[in-house]
Structures are given as structure tokens and as C-alpha cells.
Amino acid sequence: MDLWSVQEVVDPAHFAALVASLPGYGGLLATDPVVTDGARYYSDFDGQEQKVGLIYKASVATVRSARVILGAQEREFAGRPPVEVELFVTVDGRQFELILILVHAKAGSGQPDWEQRNAAAALLKDYLDRTNPAGQVMVVGDFNDDVDVSITPPNPSPYKRFVDDSTAYFVPTKALTDAGKSSTVDFTEMIDHHLVTDELKGAYLPNSAEVFPADQYLASYRRTTSDHYPVLARYLPGQAYSSGRSLANDPAWRQAASNSRAWKQRPQPVALGQSVSGNISMIVDMFGKGWSIAIENAEVLATENVPER
């Protein structure tokens, strides 16, 4: 396991002890000093606010920066605005940047709950459209709603806007929704998800998304651990090109790479020898940097630690 996203961590000392018990791993919590504005938004309730966090394999990922985003709209996020973590990832000697956005959306199936989640999803999509049009971004965590229809009928899913914008976004875990899976012990809906930008769509290993049935291995799981199951997925590297011709000097490709949304109308590769595998947009951030763009053997865990509010 290379990357774990966690939600609803209340006690920083317990989190630190957990990370310390995992040799070769590092971690950060929303209230850590490294997270800009984290303590400002995640210190309510006498420090008992439910916090998002990240656990990462130190040999694979280095945290370059972390900050709260959309803090001015914290109400829409139930007082828990997303935390954006910029990682520098090294896999098999290849290096690239990855942005993880850790989310814990408003809980509840009432109409006001849906309205908050819907507003938050709209804010998040606008943020991603504006700030990371060509970035490799993963949004992971507790969405507190499904991605096909909402848990608050007859409303549409707050995340339908991402599903519908399939040229720019991909929801690997929607396959679990379509298969009728549940990510919680007590309910039937799939409310914990992975959402990636199109630059990472080709990195997803098909059919790798799964709900891990932790309660089959720990009889007291619901009582001692969480009412949510871990949700896993694998992301593997793609080949950028293999003919020796540098696309960095191809003006047409460089112009297309300047905005990943233009890749759907991109010119087809010519005389590349062996063609690019998977989604060609996997090389979008490679130009001028020499990076291969993917995650090898990475798995993201979305789970929770305490009952939710």
C-alpha cells in the first residue's frame, strides 16, 4: 500500500502512534503545522473535530506542500474543507508530481445535507477546472453520497457533474456503484470514492477498484474500527513513448499539452514507432520535464475512524 487517505481522525496522538507503528511510512493530519490553514479549520470542538489525513510510503512519496482549499466556503463542506497535498512521487527511478485532495463531505440524507454536498461538489469542480486543468489529481475520501443517484431521493448525485464531464474526469469507483457494492457496514450505498482527472485515467488498472471486507478479518470491526470499509484501487504506469523521438519539440503536441481539455482534439501521434499505451494524455506533464506520468503499484485507501456526524 503506497497511499492511504483517512477521514474522521479525532486524536492526533493516536494518529501519530499509528504512523509510528508502520515502518517506512510517513503521515500528515489536517492540523499538522505543515498543512497551511489546517489548524484554523480543523480545531473546532475543543480539538475534537474529525480530521482528514494521509499516510504514505516514504520511499515512494515526498510531501512538497499541503494546504486547506476552499476554506472560505467551509460551511458547504460541513466545516471540513478539503486538504490538498502536493506529492513528489518516485517509482522505479521515474519521478512525477501528484496532487491528492482529501475530502470528507457533509453526512446525512436530509435535504439540507444534500444541498450542502451539492454546493460543495460544485465548488470543488470549479476549483479543479480553474486551477488544475492539466494536472494529475486524485480526489479521495468519504463523499457521503453515491455517484449515480443521491442517497437523498429524488435528487441527482452531487457528483453527477463529474461523471457527466467524462472528457475531464473519471470515477474508477463508479464500477462498484454499478455493481451494487456498499462501502459501509450499515447501509447499501457506495459513498466512499476515488475521482481522478483525465490525465490519470489511463493509469487506472481496469477492474482493480474494490471494497475490502475488513469485517471478515476482524470480528469487532464495526465496534472498534469503523462503519466504513476501505476502498482500494490500483494505478499503474503507462509508456510515454519508445521511438526515441522527443515530443517536447513537437509544436502541435506542446500546444495540445498546454490544456489537457484540448487533448480530445489532439493530433494523432505520427512515426512514433511503438505507440503510446493507454490514454495518450498520460504524457501531458512530461514535456520539458522528462517525467513519466503514472503511479506504479499505488493503492489509495479511504476509510474512517469514528462515528460520523
**pLDDT tens track for 204-251:** 999 999 999 999 999 899 998 899 999 999 987 543 322 223 334 444
Other beta carbons within 10 angstroms of residue 175's beta carbon come to 16
pTM: 0.77
pLDDT digits (tens, 9 = 90+) for 135-169: 899 999 999 999 999 999 999 999 999 999 999 99
Q: Which domains does the chain have, with CATH numbers?
A: 3-237+294-304 (3.60.10.10), 247-283 (no CATH)
